[in-house]
Every structure is written in C-alpha cells, then in structure tokens.
C-alpha cells in the first residue's frame, strides 16, 4: 500500500460531496457540470488558496496576493492560504548548500532544515501584508499546524494534519497563512515534500478542512494542452480529469505536483488552477464523469533531464527484479520506463530511467546491487534523455494514436529510443536536445491548439 493511502486526516466534516453541515460541497456541483456557478467564491464557504513562488516574488506581488485573499474573505468566506518560497528562493538555497558542500551531497536532514526557511519567510510577510491592508491574519509553519510526515527527507509524505488550530483561528475571523512544502516528523525534525510540494500542502488542507474550493494561483492562466512557455500555440483547458492530470504531472507538467493530484483524486478535492495576475477563469481539475467529453488526446508533456540506468548480466531467475527494484525503492527513488531483455545465456539486461537529480542516490544503490547479484552484473548510465508524452482518456477506446505520434516524430527525424504506454498515455524516450521540438511536433500532430467542438 503506498504511504499516501495511510494518510490519517482527522476530517470530521468529511470530504464527500455532501458535507456534514448539510450543504453540498464543491465536488458535487462540479460533477454536475455547473462549473460556471462556482468560479466566483461562494458566500460563507471555506476556501483554501495557494500562491506559488512567482506570485509572491516581491513585496508588490505579496500585496497583490493579499488583496485577492482579502477579497475572498470579505465576500463572506473563511480563507486559509498556502504560500511557497518567494521567487527562486528554493533554487538559490539549493545552490547555497552546494557551494558549501562542494563535492559531497549535503546531508538530507540539514537540506530540509535549510529549504523549509524559504516558506517561513513568505508566511510572515504575507501575514504582515494582510495586516497592513487592515485585516487580521496569522501565520503557521507546517510544524505549528501538526503537519506530520514520515522521515523521507526531501520527499516526505504527509501522514496527518491537526486541523484544530486552523479551525480555531478561522472561527475567530482570521485569515490563516500556512507554509507550503514543509512538515515535521513525529520526532520533531523538519521535512520537505518534494519540489512543487506546496501543491500537496494545498490539497491536503483542502481535504482536511473539507474546503469548498482549492484555488491554485500560479503564473499561467490554467492547465494548457502543453507547457505554454514551450508551445506558443498551446490552448487552455477548461476542465480536466484527475487521471489525465495525474499522467500529465508525472510526465513533466510541473504546474502541479503529482502527489497533490493523487491526494485530490483520493479525497475528491476539486482544484481550480488560476493566474494570480488576472481574474480569468482557470482550469478545473475534477473527477471524471460520464458526461465529460472523452477527448482522445487532451494534452502533451515533456520531461527533461532523465538518465537511463542499464544493468547488464542480471541472473535470470524469479525474485531478481523484485530485489533490484525493492532496494531502489528503499532509497525513495522513482523509476520509470522499465525494460527487460532476456538473453540466450540465461542472463538479462534491465534498464530503467530516473531523474538526473536522483543520480547521486542511485549510483551507490546500484553498485551495491551489482556486487550482491554475484559480481557478473555491470551498470551503465546514459544521461541527456527526455520523454515526450501524449495523454487522454479517449485513448481507452480509440486506436491509431501511437502510430500518429510515431509517424510525426519520424517525419521530424526525432529518434525514438524506448516506448512505454498505459491505458491513457503514450511516452517516447528521445534525446534531450530534441525535447522542445518533439513537444511542438506531437502538439501539432494531434491539433491540440484547436478547441474540441
Ligand atoms: P508556481 O510557482 O506557481 O508553483 P510553477 O513554476 O511550479 O509555478 O508552475 C507553473 C509553470 O508550469 C508554468 O509557468 C508553465 O511553464 C509550467 N507548465 C508545464 N506544463 C504546463 C501545462 N500543461 N499547463 C500550464 N503550465 C505548465
Ligand atoms: N518552494 C518549493 C519549490 O520551489 C515548493 C513549491 O514551490 O511548491 O519546489
Ligand atoms: Mg510549483
């Protein structure tokens, strides 16, 4: 059972469509397709908002976000807000740690201790901005709201949240500001939830508080058919299912962290992704419904900076793959695109991809495996790979999608190195230098820029 399934939300208001107070939650309304009616804050609802790094990058932007938060409050809602570190703070802190540690990776516990400071700065400044605008706010770190995680530093998983402190403050009429991306272990150590982890904080709070809406404010108007910074013709999607968004996030659409979408699906929390700089309606991420249009390809994504690990001369007998991937999983490394070829001499070659940020952790684990497997197994690493993917629930019932994608890539002379598929996605491993071009090509091949009738 994945750790998220053990999440213990003390949620006596429930997260089901019908709330214990008798009112219908946002989930039910979205499911019935009445998206337009809840784009504006509902009177006397509970809203959880999240502002990403670019939306709080300087004093002026913090004040702009504060105005939006206050507008939701004065419309009659209770408002809890999750904030990320300002601008590129997290990247800057990572560079700072590298400059101190030079050759060896920084100790993970200390890294989390350092990175958690980024969000702590923003919560205090946001509370100050709200005060300066004449409203009451109180800020909390992850630890202060009992956001307890496991001890997988840098990729910790949320286990429970004690919502009482937040509810007490909301009931006193205060706006509650919570630091995204961070938690605390039962022993009291600071943890972080993986890059983009403020999204997970947003959805976890949305679930535990039974929020009417989770609003994710970012620097683009919503979820697009591809990263709008790479594909200029990308089109904003009005509504997308959790499953499609899960695939897109996992395949590189960094606008939402995969774990956050997992939570949202499990607890049926609708997310509205919006631009913090304008009032445009964004994209709703909701449960799939029978009346939702089953578009064959909804979006395309690119994941760069992948490394292929190949283990050669692996003994071909039962239990070996379980042992290899079990040991890698112990290091909390996500592997993908697994391929095994069995050779005539009763040995096998096994390859898989990892993100290049995981290379430091995976190398020692793989070296140990090679020794443990009897000394004949060797490992090679190929970096500078990328993965281009298309995603759509309609693929379940349509054929020819793979062929169309492969043909488009071939015509543009992009070499496909590996292919992986699921019910609703097709992915091709390609050279990193072809990445942006390949994304544009598949976007064009499926005419994703055209709105579906
Ligand atoms: P924040 O700081 O608000 O968390 P991020 O930088 O993490 O923002 O995520 C927003 C970025 O995600 C956008 O600027 C965009 O470049 C990128 N992105 C990638 N794929 C998509 C997509 N399919 N739709 C929208 N944005 C995307
Ligand atoms: N500040 C963290 C990051 O840059 C978390 C987040 O922004 O969601 O990854
Ligand atoms: Mg982000």
Phi-psi region of 413 (alpha: psi -120 to 50; beta: other; left: phi over 0): left
Name residues whose C-beta falls within 8 Å of residue 431's C-beta, 6 or more positions apart in sequence. Answer: 384, 385, 386, 414, 415, 417
Question: Alpha-carbon distance 50 to 177, whole Å?
Answer: 10
Query: Residue 292's pLDDT is what?
Result: 67
As for how many domains the chain has, the answer is 2
The protein residue with its alpha carbon nearest to ligand 1, atom 5, reads 255
Closest residue CA from atom 6 of ligand 1: 255
pLDDT at 34: 32
Pocket of ligand 1 (CB under 6 A): 52-55, 84, 196, 218-220, 223-224, 226-229, 253-255, 299
pLDDT on residue 9? 45
Atom of ligand 1 nearest to the CA of 54: 2
Give the three-class secondary structure for 173: coil
Q: Are residues 362 and 238 in the same domain?
A: no
Record the pTM: 0.88
Residue 302 near residue 388 (C-beta atoms within 8 A):
yes
What pLDDT shows up at residue 293? 65
Closest residue to atom 6 of ligand 2, CA basis? 196
Q: Which two tokens stand for residue 334?
A: 């996500």
CA-to-CA separations, 367 to 370, 373, 390, in angstroms, rounded: 5, 10, 34
Cα 160 from Cα 8, distance rounded (Å)? 5
What was the pLDDT predicted at 257?
94
- Residues lining ligand 2, Cβ inside 6 A: 52-53, 84-85, 90, 118, 180-181, 195-199
Q: What is the CATH number of the domain that holds 312?
A: 3.30.2130.10
* Residue 276 and residue 310 in one domain: no
- Check whether residue 268 and residue 326 sit in a common domain: no
Ligand having the closest approach to the CA of 254: 1
Best CA proximity match to 409, nearest among 439, 432, 385: 439
Q: What is the position in ligand 2's atom list of the atom closest to the CA of 201? A: 8
Token digits of residue 246: 């899960």
Q: Looking at the domain assignment, is residue 28 inside a domain?
A: yes
> Does residue 178 lie in a domain region?
yes
Please report, in angstroms and rounded to a whole number, the separation of the first and last CA atoms in the chain.
41
User: Over the chain (453 residues), what is each successive 10-residue block's mean pLDDT?
Assistant: 37 36 41 35 78 98 98 97 98 97 91 98 98 98 98 95 96 98 98 97 96 95 97 95 94 94 93 95 88 81 96 91 92 90 89 92 91 90 97 89 96 96 95 98 96 66
> Closest Cα to atom 5, ligand 2: which residue?
196
* Residue 294 resides in a domain: no
Half-sphere exposure of 304 (CA within 13 A, CB side): 11
Give the C-alpha separation, 176 to 135, whole Å: 11
Q: Residue 397's CB: how many other CB atoms inside 10 A?
A: 8
Distances (CA, A) of 156 to 185, 189, 200, 316, 385: 9, 11, 11, 34, 27
274 and 388 together in one domain: no
Quick one: 255 and 327 in the same domain? Answer: no
Asked if 386 and 433 sit in the same domain, the reply is yes
314 and 272 fall within a common domain = no
**Are 84 and 225 found together in one domain?**
yes
For residue 396, being part of any structural domain is answered with yes
My answer on whether 380 and 285 are in the same domain is: no
Domain-embedded: residue 135: yes
Q: Atom 27 (ligand 1): residue with closest C-alpha?
A: 227
Judgement on whether residues 188 and 209 belong to the same structural domain of the protein: yes
C-alpha of residue 256 to centroid of ligand 3, in Å: 6
Residues 6+ apart with CB under 8 A from 32: none
Is 171 within the bounds of a domain? yes
Q: Which domain holds residue 357?
A: 300-445
* Domain-ending residue, one of 265, 289, 313: 289
Q: Is residue 451 part of a domain?
A: no
């Amino acid at each position: 059972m994945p750790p998220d399934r053990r999440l213990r939300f003390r949620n006596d208001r429930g997260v089901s469509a019908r709330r214990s107070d008798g009112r219908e939650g946002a989930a039910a309304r979205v499911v019935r397709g009445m998206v337009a009616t809840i784009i504006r804050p509902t009177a006397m609802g509970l809203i959880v908002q999240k502002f990403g790094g670019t939306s709080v990058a300087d004093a002026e932007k913090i004040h702009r976000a504060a105005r939006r938060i206050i507008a939701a409050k004065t419309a009659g809602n209770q408002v809890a807000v999750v904030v990320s570190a300002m601008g590129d703070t997290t990247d800057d802190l990572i560079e700072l740690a590298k400059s101190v540690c030079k050759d060896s990776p920084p100790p993970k516990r200390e890294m989390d201790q350092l990175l958690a400071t980024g969000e702590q700065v923003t919560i205090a400044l946001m509370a100050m901005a709200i005060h300066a605008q004449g409203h009451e706010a109180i800020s909390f770190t992850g630890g202060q709201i009992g956001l307890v995680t496991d001890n997988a530093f840098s990729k910790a998983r949320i286990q429970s949240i004690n919502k009482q402190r937040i509810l007490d403050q909301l009931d006193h009429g205060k706006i509650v500001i919570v630091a995204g991306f961070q938690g605390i272990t039962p022993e009291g150590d600071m943890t972080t939830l993986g890059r983009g982890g403020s999204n997970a904080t947003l959805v976890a709070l949305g679930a535990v508080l039974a929020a009417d809406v989770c609003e994710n404010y970012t620097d683009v108007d919503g979820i697009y058919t591809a990263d709008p910074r790479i594909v200029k013709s990308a089109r904003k999607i009005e509504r997308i299912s959790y499953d499609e968004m899960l695939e897109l996030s996992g395949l590189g659409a960094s606008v939402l962290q995969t774990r956050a979408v997992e939570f949202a699906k499990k607890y049926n929390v609708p997310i509205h992704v919006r631009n913090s700089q304008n009032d445009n309606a964004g994209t709703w991420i909701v449960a799939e419904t029978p009346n939702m249009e089953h578009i064959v390809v909804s979006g395309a994504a690119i994941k760069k900076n992948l490394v292929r690990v190949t283990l050669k001369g692996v003994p071909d007998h039962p239990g070996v793959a379980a042992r290899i991937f079990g040991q890698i999983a112990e290091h909390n490394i996500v592997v993908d695109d697994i391929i095994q070829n069995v050779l005539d001499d009763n040995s096998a070659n096994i390859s898989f991809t990892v993100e290049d940020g995981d290379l430091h952790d995976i190398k020692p684990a793989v070296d140990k495996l090679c020794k443990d497997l009897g000394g004949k197994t060797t490992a090679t690493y190929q970096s500078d790979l990328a993965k281009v993917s298309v995603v759509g629930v309609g693929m379940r019932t349509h054929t020819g999608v793979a062929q169309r994608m492969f043909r488009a890539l071939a015509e543009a002379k992009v070499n496909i190195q590996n292919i992986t598929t699921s019910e609703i996605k097709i992915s091709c491993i390609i050279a990193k230098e072809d990445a942006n071009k390949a994304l544009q090509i598949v976007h064009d091949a499926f005419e994703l820029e055209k709105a579906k009738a």
